[in-house]
Each structure stands twice: as structure tokens, then as C-alpha cells.
Structure 1
């Protein structure tokens, strides 16, 4: 049910409107209560505070009852909106929503005006200025807290007036703000910002003499009444007006610049040795803002803004205007160059990308004729002159783990802009974490961050965070320095329109890759699209145009900022190419996973592991497209190709893919069904559910009794049950179905070793080790050898083999193999009396299996730990761990009863892990026991 809207206006006489109908609130005290609750802006006002405000002297006995009566009657005034006035335990709260208080509206319009282009700012600030209907709450000025609020909001009134005058001058609407500028001075004749704005307005309307006289009068008045001198800004403005070149707006923007000191320092160093430096980067990254700051911190500087210029022939005239020249006859550019030649300093040529050829020619002319002039250009791509030194402006630094969030530049920008819209919006730790995620998802782009923060006038922080997937349209408005581009979408569209058709097409299709591509993939994509230009040249142009970023490391990687990628996906859909692009990405994923599968069985396994981990975000995108598009063949091909990765790497996500696909009814009857079931069974085993693993493997086995995948998982599920005969039979059957039997022979060897036949185990494992081509398979066979030695009591040899298996596993990226080999290693070290080493290792392995969710092996690890704790005299902890393992349905079977003890409670997973960690820490800190010599 919709709650009625309420508007409380305090910028003048108090006024209440409910659903557009004015409501008469009578009685000074009741009106004061309404004003105090409204001015709290959604905060709870304690009863004591209200009572003290209404009766500042002695509170009558009936004071609280009278207050309750006023609140009751206010609810009657609110009518259908009475639910907005809430009684809480310690006070009252009036919820007006985002637009229910004219003060909040004025504040939001001021913030939006400061972030908009001059024309839009003028409209917004005119609306804000009109909200004042006279003296604020004049009839309630005798109420102390209200009087204090009135005084506090006086600054808001001044800020709106100053911003309105400034925007009117910048927008060419100076005639409409001259009177407002004069009124602001009349209200506070000693306030310098108002005086300076009035002088600018007078000068802009051709009243330079009156402007100078206003400056002189202010100087005399300030000296007479306050005994002070004006700031240097007055002298600067007087000189500018006297010279006939009063600027429409200051060179340096009014907002604070965060996090750019390193880039500014680097640019100043470059400019000290280079004649031409071009600052390049994507739209919204802050090139203009940084360039203006460099100009402001230097000496003489001229700023040529090209954003408003659309005709190349107008560039010389724009430069003349920037120099304050009025050229009636002669060559305009020649006149400008003549002036610059006599004025050593910096020329900033801002926003060159849409007039690149003309900007290049103008810059070349200046450099040739003005040897004392240095040029700093900003553009989304280089100018292409031989003398040019290109500097790329990166996004703002993003918050990392453990950083002090408000000190991170990207977060600081958000908080600063948000504070101009709504104070205290992000002060709690949880709020700061939301802000950190917002700026990460916005790539640290200042424009996007400022626009997002500005939206807090409408949304809560959580609502804004939840809507960032629509950031291109959500983030409208025009922050200072980006006057040409209204929304984030328009900013990106501006760069996109400057590309050729082939470049746009390549950009669109690259956007389907979630985490960028390498050079070979980009060139292959360009070739597949049949571009009329050279693929490498098209890609280079996208990099030059700041639509794609090139990252140089182990291999070159081409990525898009998320805002650019979102735009590319939109354009892909608009061009009717989304389905074709999705199909291409899925085909790429099938080919890549096929290569990974093949390469992981060779010496190049570490390379395949690195590619898999690097491309996982792209594979994730391809997987979702395959599933959402009903591409069952491709999904099955991707999952089954990743069987080895699922079996030996703790990439939990791809395990989930396998189990998801196995649950799809459409898989029934598919030629890859058995392989998918077997792969999903392997994933379930690693999730610690060996019972489900067994069921899935048998389901696949029933569809295709010859499936290698299913036979392999049946053998490891039998290992968890201690069914040694099934281990051997399934393993040998699986080995007969493949030309790579190394793993299966090792599993069969484990079955023999655990059954007590170490000689047969050794023979099987040697067959598996012979010719094992990949590091992980050699590591597997070495681990199995360690297990055989352990069963035979050859502990030192077992330790050596475990360590070698761990080294091979880490080399190949086989993290799961490293984990299980470490379990064996710790058990051996515990038996050899190396208790401290074992305890430290147990702490790491407990945490490792907790992270990966493999409870089958976690229970083995915990039982081994319990054995060690019992030998250390920590019998209670050992008994409780064993009791939990004995009761756990996913714990592997053990030979013989475990000594849990009759009184040991059964703990859940989280509790048993806490118990294990506490026991490890306790025993690590205990004095070492005398070491028993080994026999």
C-alpha cells in the first residue's frame, strides 16, 4: 500500500503539504515540534531534547504529556501519511523520504549543479534558489535548536547563491544573475566570494568600471569594519578586469583533487624536458582535471578547451579567445602564435580526440614558432607528432585488502562527492566496504565515481550498490571537467563514434570476453570477423583510442574497463550480433579446454594450469552463455575436458559446473552423458560427498559401462569405504580403457597397499610411474610410493617421497595432490617424533581443507591429528575429534573402532575445526616433551 507523500518546507515560513494539499498546523509549540522533527532529516529526536526545546526554562509537570498531545495531533495533520511519524523507545522520528524536506532538496540540487555543465547547472541552481520563500522559520526563532539550525543553513543559502551566479556567468546567462549577485553582497557585504562573483557578473555585462568600483568599496569596507585586508584573489581579479580579460570561471576546478599527486609530479617532470606531452586515457578518467591542476601549479598557462568546438576551422578562433585576443583582420592563427612566442609558458590543449588532425596541425604550428612554449595536450588517443611524449593516465587506485579505506583515492573521491549530497552517508565500516566494492566495480574511473556518489541524493548506499549493473544509464549528470558528455553512456559513445566501422565491430565482439584476451585470441577474433583492415592495426587503434587497455607482463593482455565493456555489450545487442558473439565465445572455450586437457597430460602441464587459471573469468562467461543458450554439446565438452583440473586442482567453481550439468534432465541420452556423470562424481568426491560421488558414477556407469571417468571415480569412492577389492577391480578396469593409465594404476596400488600387499602395490605403482609424462602424474605416483613406504614402516623413505610429490604437485598447479601428500607427510613426521613440525603442518592443512570444502580428506587429516594429540596426552580433544568423525556420514571408513570415549560429545563441522585449531595452538605452546628415541 502506497504511503502518502509529505513535504515540509522550512526555507521560509513553516509549511506542511500532504499529497499535494496544504495542511494548516496551528500553535507555536506544535509547529516547533514539526520543524524540529523535519530538520532532524530522518534521525530520532529524543523526548528530552524536544521538551527542553519547547520549555527552555522550567519544564511544567505536564510538559511530557503536552508533547505527546502535540505529536498525536501532528499525526492527525499528516492524515494518510501518519505512519511516517513514528514513536520509538527514546523519542520520535519523522520519515520524509528523499524529497520531503526543502532543505534536503536544496542540498541535492546544489550538489547536482556543481557536477553539471554550466547550462544545466544554471537550471538546477535557479530551482534551488527559488526554494527560499523568505526568512527561514522567522516565527519560531525563539526556539533555541531551531535558531541554531537556521544559522547553520545560512551557509547553504550562500553556497547556492554563489554557485548560481558562477554558473550563470559560465552559461552566458549573466544578465539573469547580476541582480542575484548584488543581492548576495547586500545580504553580507563582507563576504568576499559574493563580492568577487558580483564583480565578475558586472564585468561580463560590460560594466568593468562598476566592477572595479565594487572591488575598491569592498576593500575600504573590510578595512574599516574588520581591520583586515582582502585575499590575493581580489587583486588578481582587479588586474584581469582592468586588462579586459576577466575569465568566466576559475582555471582550477573548485572540487578537491584526490590521488593524483604522483601523476601530476610525473607530468611536471616530463614537461621540464619535453616540448609536447599528450595525456591520454579513456573518457572520464580525469585527464582534463589533471591537466588543469598541472597548469594551476605552474607559471603562465593558457588553456584551450576543444570540447565545445565542432568545426576544425574554428580552432584558431578558440585559441584567440583563450588568449584574450580580438583579431579583426589578418591571419588568426598567426596572431595567436605571435602572442605565444612573446609569452613563454604552458599551453594546455584539452579534449583533442574529435578534432585530431586540426589539433595536431595547430600544435605543430605552435611548437615550430614558439620555442619557449610547452604544450600539454589531453586526448583519448595520441596526436601523432614526432615530438610527442605520450603519458597514459590510469584510473584511481582501488582499495586492497587491509587498507585504510578513506585514505584510498578512489574511495576518498566517492566520500567527498557523497558528502556534498548527503552528509554522513558512509561512515560505518559496513558502508565503507560497500563503497570499496562500488569503486572497484566502477574501475576507479573518477567520472563514474562522481556520478555514482551524486546518485545518493536519490538512492541509499545499498540501493546504489545493487543497481550498478545498470551503471551506464544509472550514472547520469555532468561533473565538472566533463561538460560535453552528459551521462556515462554519452561519454563512452563519444569515443565509440570516432572509430571506423571495423574498429567498432572488433570492439563490440571483444566485449564478450569478461577478462580480456591475449594477442593471438584478439587477432583470431578479428580474422573470424572478416575485417577489411589488418587485425593488428585495428587492435592497436583501439588501444590508442583508449577503448582497450594493453597490459604487459608475462604476456600482453588486452582488457576493457568494465564501463567500456558494458557499453560494448549493449552495442553488440543493438547491432544484432549478441548471439553470434556468444557462439564465438563458447566455441573458443571448447577449443581452449580441449587444449588444456591435452596439454595437462604433457610436460607442459604448468603452462596449461597457468592458462586455465588466467582464463577462468572468460571460461565462466562462456559457461553461463552455453547453459543459458541451451548449448548442451558445448557445455558437456567443456566440463569433461576439465576432468583432470577438477581431480587435481582446487578450482571449486568448475566442480560446481560439472554437478550442475549432471542434474540437467536434457543430458539423458546424450553421447557424453556418462563422461559428464563421471566428471560430476569426481567433483562430488572433492566436495567431501563420496556417497554422492559413488551414486553419480554408478548412474553414468549404467549408461555406458565402459566409461573411464565413472570407473575411476568408483575406485576412489571404494577407497573411502575401505573396500580394497573394489578399488583394485575398478582401477584396473579403468586403466584398460585409456592410453594414460598412470593415475588408475596408482589407485590400484593404494588398494593393494592398504590391504597389506605392499609388494603387489609396488609393482602396480612402478607400472604407473613408467612413462608418466606430466609433473602431476609423476607426483601422484611418488605420493603413492610414499603411502606404500608408510604402510611398510619405512618412514624416512616415505617422508622423502611425500616431499618430492608435494614439489611436483606445486610445480604443476595440482593443489589437491599437494594437500593429500601433506596429510601423509604430517602423519609420518608425527610417528617420527617431530611433533612441532607436525602440529604446524596440521594447522595449515586443516585450514586448507576447510577452504576447499573437501571433508572426505579433512576427516582423514583430523583423525591423524587425533592420534597425535592422544600421544601428547591431550586425550579429551582427541576423543571429541574421533567422536565427530565416527558420527560424520562423509568420513571415510576406518579399520577398527576409534577410541572416542563414551562421554565424548558429537560436534558439528565448525565446532570440530575450532576444537582442532585450539588443540594445535595449545600443544604448540606447551613445553616440548622429552623425545623418545626411534628404533
Structure 2
């Protein structure tokens, strides 16, 4: 090599047996210690590895006197192995550095390929697959199997295993989405066999099986996983499994996307019937969404806007779908959008949090059924477009939103048959024949029957919903009878091209015709079901039928409504009945015409009060997960009932709903329900209501979770003054105790908690709160006694989780880290089974604290990265400040004083930050220097994130 020439490249491969390549020549490196030095230098990826780190890694028990000399010898021999590339192994002031080019380390190359694949996946699935296959092929066998007795290398091997799983999962998902399921089925099977309890591997194998025509085997795989998880781990799978099972059971054998924690987007399930005659419109909309920021799919009810928008979303990567049909309150739109994003916002501006998440999305936002909330949707879309410059939005509505950036795409009815041509190929005829074939299978229609069908679809003006309803009547009539009755029953249009309004009248007449064919009992049941905005389960539907005095078996009346396509039955899991939105609007009109709207509204409110009372009672039992699922499932209907209650000014019902949902306010990050409590607390009419104390206590609990301790205490004290019963006093004492705990006033905490515990005989959290105060005040023995008393008789997962969390805090404050960790883990597992998301969060923070104290720095840093990201996304600054303080404590111990001081100072000066952490002696509060600018919350988060990443990369 001449002077000034660059040394040849060096490549080190660790994804298998250690391999050194200089230029193009493989070089053997003998001896485990020398191979370990090479591996440690390579895994540092260009960073300096200190001599102390290398010596400690090679001789962890005791460094021999000749240890440093032996290390220098290994370095010298490695330079000899490098030959004319020896200059790439450089000596630094306190260690050594191996200079590798960009692709000089196979594990770094694998990560690069994954990132490139993610960047192109949306536009080039096949190209992304090729990159991921290249990354997957880099693994040549067990990673550094002869060097795993070296602790830092063992840690790196674990990281490589995690990366291998990530690459495998990404490759499987990409291949399935690209229609290459057959080519990766064996890999999916192997990945599942390697770790049968890892849910992503299960979901990907199920998708691969479904795409290769093995839906029954896919569903069997899901059932086996569910059983194995329960038996071996005592856990339930995530909702993603149930969602995928529903998609597969509905016939989605193609590359429907698996629910992803990365995207958070809901998965468009493939409809049971195929979309006919809309390929051009779907393609045009795809093209428009690449050029326009906002496209509104406009058309009358029943023309198929929702179905077309769903198909557009299905063909887009990472589309977010917001369904507004169940939403009746304009103020609920941000909450519904947060739910569509799988985003829990417990404090702060919900819409702003949604915009922050959407700004990172590549796929479009699809908002369906906007017409009944037009002004609120317009305002929401305007905010989203301003905050997400790279996002496109597709809305469906009967009219335009009215924004300047809006491109209106009018969806016309299906093409009608002409006098000539192949009738079965005409889309409107094809839709009728497809629906008719499902209702009455039989031989292909004769030419005469085809002409009759052609006349029917012409009279229905090609409206998809009207055609499907008419074809559904073939379960009752022959084709000829259907044609005859349609001709007589509908006020069809005369000559000339009908207008859009006339088309809509035709559709209403078609629904009216189907409605009149029902019996009076069936019509009455249909009308009253229309008040449920998100459908109703079979028990509630049958109770409603019985309350209405429907003759015979209520199930028969419901079956008749399903058979006539007036309602739909969702039989995945527990049977649930729903209406198409157009049909529901028709039902509400008929309800008002019959003078029954007040009765039906009262029925919905009574259902909501009874349901929430059952939820409140069941939350304290071992059936708590069932109650949690019901609450989350029925939230759209409860939201509608709440708004009706408030519009009617019914304080009795409003108070019953709010107080029954106290546990939801306390443990479940359902910020919308917390808002109901605070809204009701502001009602002047509440002053003289007998349940005012309980309502104000519930509102106080909601204010506490927003970090507004003064307001929480004011509300709770006002509630105590108005409480007429001991049970209502309990609602107020609980938020008083936790507000005092946040302020660090431990004597007050114990006083309020013991008073609260004396009121109720049911196992509650009061004594556990007192136990926390005792532990933080330095009396662990009293804390254990109080917590044991509080756990006596507890059976609900949340109360058991609460008790485990309190034990974790007591053990942590006593320095028993291992015991504390086990109790925190148990609390997290139990809280997850019950849906107590708040408890999962606080127990996780405790867990990370003890792991950091135990020296498991990387585990703690990775955990802080995740939990800080979670709390930041949900704007939960109350708990975020505590987490950041704990992170600052860890950074200070790592010698990273600058970020630690900034974070701690920001927390100490934040008005909504709780008292300083209790598990160790707090640092003195840091004050801002005179005239120094207060760091913004965004600045604090950025400093924290950078500090975490920097310390994770340290040697």
C-alpha cells in the first residue's frame, strides 16, 4: 500500500460464528480471548472501547496482574491479522477503536436494510421484501456461540436475537401484504415454533395461512395460542388476536394487515361480499389522494360511499379510519379519532395529541359519515390538515365540508343496463344477482329473468342499497312477484333523468316498502332499536322486545329483521345487532312519526343506567375484565345516552351514570368519562341534588388525574359538605387522600384513607393509599399491616393489582429490590387483564426505578424510553414528571449531569408535578437561575430522549 492510500476495507460478521474479512480475504482469528476482543471492538460500531471495559469483559471475576499486558498482546496480534488494514485498528487515549465502513458489520447492515425497507414499503412492497430477504440472509447460524460467556457479548447476542425477530416479522408482514404468502409460509411456521407464546409470530402465521387458503388452520392456530397462553402464563391475548380472527372468519384470505402496535391504525376487515362496479372510482380516488390534501366522496345515502371508502383504505398502507356513524356529540369527535388511533389521552388537548400521531403517518385519514356533524368535522379536518402537511384526508358525506382545499368527488349510482349488451356484466345487474344468489341459490337466471332484473335495477336507479334490499326480498317472493310488488309499492320516477334528490326519495321508498312488509311488532322493534347508535347485544335486544310486548319469542322477531336486511347480525363472539346508518336514520324518522321518540329515548337511558350499575357492581368481582370489556364496547351507546340525559336535564340519571363509572374515572384512562363528571359538577342544578356529594367526589377524582390538585380538593371538600349518606362521603375522601399523597402530606393521607375505609365494607384501595403514605413516611411495618388489611377479601384483578403495587412500593422504599420487582410485575400483569391502564403505568414506573437501582441500566433506559413516549403521547404530564424525575436520578448516577439537572429543574418548577419521588431521599429542589428561561415541555422531552439514546450507546 503506497503512502496516502486508504487501507483496504475490513468486515466483521457476528450473525453466526465470528468472521473477519480483510479486503476480500477471510482471515482466521484464533483463541477465544482474541476473538472476544475483535467482537467487542466491532460491536462498538466505530466508538472507542476503553481498556478498562475490555479488561473487565475478558476477566470479570479477577483481573490478573498481567491482564493489561495480555490485552495489549491481543491487540498487537489483531493488527497482524489485519495486515495492510492494520491502520483501521487505532489506539486512542483510553482505549481502542476499530474503523469499519458503513457495511463493515453485518448486524449494522441488517438494521440499515430494515430501515430502507420501511421507507419504501408503502410504495414498493416487492422492493421492501427483497431488502428484508437480504437482511434475513445475513444470519448464518447461532450468533457468537463460543463467546457468550463474555457478559457484554451475551448482551449483544440477545440484541441480535431481538433484531432477528424484528427482521423476520417485517419480512413476513411485507411478503403477505405483497401477495407472497406461499413463499414465506414455512418461515412463519418456523418463527411460531421457535416461540409459541410470542403473539406477533402467531398473528403472522395466521395471516400466512389465511392468504394461502387455509383459513380453518389459521383460526385453529389462534385458538391453540389463546388456550396455551392462558394455561402456561395465565394471561389473555391482546385485542389484535380477536380482530384478526374476525377478519379471517369473515373471509379475508388476502393480505389484510395485521393489527400493529407500531401504526396503531385500525385494520379494515375485508367485507363478506365483493365490491362490484367500483374499480374505476377506487382507482381515481387513489390517484386523487396523491395529489389532493382533502377529497370528499359525496353522494346520497345508499349510493355506496362507505363501501368505496373502505376499499380505498384497504388498499392503502397504514390508513386510519374514523367511523362517525356512532358519534352523535360534536365534542366527541377528537375522542373517537383518538380511539381510531389506539391513542389514550388522559390529560391535555385530545385533538392536538391525535395530530401529533397523525403527523408521522404515511397512509390517509378516512372519515366516514360526516353529514350529521358537518361543522365539527370541518373544524377538525382543518386542524388536522394544518398540523399534518404530508397527510391526505378522505371523507364521505352527503354534502361537501366547505373547506377551500376540498376536492369533491361525486359517487354516482351503478351503471344501468341498456337495451343491448351482456346483462350479467352490467354492475347494477351483477350486484342484484350476487345478493340474490346468497338469498336463494339456484341455477343461472334465464334470459327472461335477466330482463326482469334489468327492469328492477332501472326502477331502483342503480342505488346499491336499494338493489340489495330488493334482492333480499327473494327470500319471501319469487322474482316475478318481487317485480310486481316493487312496481306497485314504490313511487318511482317518471320520464327524464332523475335528480339526486329523486334518487334519494326512491331509496327511502324502497326502505319504506321493506318496512311495511314487516308485522306491526317487528316495525315497532325496528324503530326502537334505531336509538342505539352502535348496535346492541342479543340480551339487550331481547329485553327491549319483551318490554315492547312483542308477541312470541323475541329472538324470532329479531331473526325476521335480519332476514329482511333491516338489521345486521354480527355473530363473531357474542351476537350483536346493528343497522346501516341509512336504515337507522329511517328508523328514527318513523320513531318520531309514531310519537315514540320520547319512549325510546327513555328506554336507551334506562338501559345505560342499568348497564353502568352492573359495570360498577361487577368491577369489584373476579368478573372485572368482563365489565371492562362491556364498558369499552358500549362506550358509543353510553356517549349517546349521556348526551340525551344532559339535553333532557335529568340529574337523577346523569348522577347515576357518573357515579357508577367512578372506577373508570380512577383506573381507566377514559378521559371522556372524566369530562362527564366535571361537566356535571358545574351544573348549578346539582347544588340541591341528593347525590351531589358523590358526583362532586367523582369530579374531584377526575381533576386529580389531570394533575389539578387544588381543584380536586375544592371539589372533594364541597362534596363532603353536600354528602347526605356515608357512601357518598367515600367518593370524596378517596380523591382527598390521593391529592394529599401527591402533595406529600402523609398524615392527611392516612387520616382521609382510614375514614374512607371505615365507610365501606368492600375491599377498596383506601387502606393501600394509607399504606403508601406510611411507607413514604418511613414506617414500612405499619405500611405492610395496612395493606394486608386492605387486601383482605379482595378478588377483583384491579384491587389485587393495587395491593401488589403497594407492596412493590413498600419493598422498594425498604431497599428490597428483587422482591419489589416481582410485586411490580404481578401488579402490571393483573392490571392488564382488568383494563386498569392507569395502574399499569404507575407500576411500570416503579419497576423501572428498582431496575435502575439494581444496575440494570440498559433495561431501565429502554423502559424509560417507552413509558416516556407513552405518557407524552397521551399528554399525561402528572405521571410523566414523576417518570422524568426518576430518569434524571439515573442519569445523574451515570455521570450525565447536564440533562439530569435540566430535567430535575423543570420538574421542580412545574406546577402540575407531584411531590418528589418517595423511594429515596429527594434531591434539594432545583431553582431556575434569575432571568433564565423556563425550558418548554418539548425541550425537556427532547433532552430526555437524547440522553437515553446516548447512554444506551455507551460502551
TM norm structure 2: 0.51
Q: Partner residue of 1:565?
A: 584
Segments of 5+ residues of structure 2 without an aligned counterpart are 1-178, 180-248, 313-366, 380-393, 402-408, 416-427, 429-456, 461-502, 917-921
Of 572, 576, 599, which aligns to 1:580? 599
- 1:927 is displaced (CA, Å) by 2.6
Indicate whether 1:789 and 2:811 are aligned: yes
Indicate whether 1:670 and 2:670 are aligned: no
Indicate whether 1:710 and 2:732 are aligned: yes
- 1:403 is displaced (CA, Å) by 10
Q: Partner residue of 2:939?
A: 911
Q: Partner residue of 2:404?
A: none
| Equivalent runs, 1:506-521 vs 2, <5 Å | 506-521=525-540
DSSP 3-state at the match of 2:458: coil
DSSP 3-state at the match of 1:742: coil
Tell whether the 8 Å contact from 1:688 to 1:853 is kept in structure 2 after alignment: no
Distance 1:630 1:708, change over 3 A: same
Of 545, 561, 564, which aligns to 1:545? 564
Of 665, 681, 692, which aligns to 2:700? 681
Q: Partner residue of 1:898?
A: 925
Q: Partner residue of 1:483?
A: 458
Distance 1:794 1:650, change over 3 A: same
Distance 1:875 1:918, change over 3 A: same
Tell whether the 8 Å contact from 1:515 to 1:559 is kept in structure 2 after alignment: yes
Distance 1:441 1:565, change over 3 A: farther
Distance 1:604 1:393, change over 3 A: closer
Indicate whether 1:837 and 2:868 are aligned: no
Tell whether the 8 Å contact from 1:410 to 1:446 is kept in structure 2 after alignment: no
Q: Partner residue of 2:778?
A: 756
DSSP 3-state at the match of 2:669: coil
Distance 1:468 1:669, change over 3 A: farther
- 1:493 is displaced (CA, Å) by 3.1
Tell whether the 8 Å contact from 1:413 to 1:449 is kept in structure 2 after alignment: no
| Equivalent runs, 1:126-165 vs 2, <5 Å | none
Q: Distance in 2 between matches of 1:833 and 1:429?
A: 53
- 1:484 is displaced (CA, Å) by 2.7
Distance 1:632 1:468, change over 3 A: farther
Q: Distance in 1 between matches of 2:286 and 2:874?
A: 42
- 1:911 is displaced (CA, Å) by 3.1
Tell whether the 8 Å contact from 1:410 to 1:439 is kept in structure 2 after alignment: no
The one of the two structures with greater contact order (alpha-carbon pairs below 8 A, sep at least 6) is 2
Distance 1:851 1:470, change over 3 A: same
Q: Partner residue of 1:428?
A: 291
- 1:847 is displaced (CA, Å) by 2.5
DSSP 3-state at the match of 1:550: strand
TM norm structure 1: 0.52
Deviations along 1:244-275, one digit per CA (max 9) or x if unpaired, are xxxxxxxxxxxxxxxxxx9xxxxxxxxxxxxx
Tell whether the 8 Å contact from 1:551 to 1:558 is kept in structure 2 after alignment: yes
Q: Partner residue of 1:601?
A: 620
Structure 1 runs of 4+ aligned residues shifted over 6 Å read: 391-394, 396-405, 407-415, 436-443, 447-450, 459-464, 474-477
The count of corresponding residues between Structure 1 and Structure 2 is: 528
- What do you get for the CA RMSD once the two structures are aligned? 4.1
| Equivalent runs, 1:808-827 vs 2, <5 Å | 808-827=830-849
Deviations along 1:186-236, one digit per CA (max 9) or x if unpaired, are xxxxxxxxxxxxxxxxxxxxxxxxxxxxxxxxxxxxxxxxxxxxxxxxxxx
Tell whether the 8 Å contact from 2:691 to 2:723 is kept in structure 1 after alignment: no
Deviations along 1:616-674, one digit per CA (max 9) or x if unpaired, are 11111111111111111111101100101211111111111111111111111111111
Tell whether the 8 Å contact from 1:882 to 1:900 is kept in structure 2 after alignment: no
Indicate whether 1:766 and 2:788 are aligned: yes
Tell whether the 8 Å contact from 2:697 to 2:716 is kept in structure 1 after alignment: yes
Segments of 5+ residues of structure 1 without an aligned counterpart are 1-261, 263-390, 929-935
Q: Distance in 2 between matches of 1:520 and 1:722?
A: 48
Distance 1:701 1:392, change over 3 A: closer
Q: Distance in 2 between matches of 1:439 and 1:587?
A: 31
Q: Distance in 2 between matches of 1:508 and 1:521?
A: 15
Q: Partner residue of 1:651?
A: 670
Deviations along 1:703-757, one digit per CA (max 9) or x if unpaired, are 2285101111000000110000110001111111111253000000111111111
Tell whether the 8 Å contact from 1:880 to 1:905 is kept in structure 2 after alignment: no
Is the deviation greater in 681-690 or in 518-527? 681-690
Is the deviation greater in 476-485 or in 886-895? 476-485
Distance 1:923 1:568, change over 3 A: farther
- 1:510 is displaced (CA, Å) by 0.9
Indicate whether 1:920 and 2:948 are aligned: yes
Q: Partner residue of 1:83?
A: none
- 1:906 is displaced (CA, Å) by 2.4
- 1:871 is displaced (CA, Å) by 1.6
Q: Partner residue of 1:247?
A: none
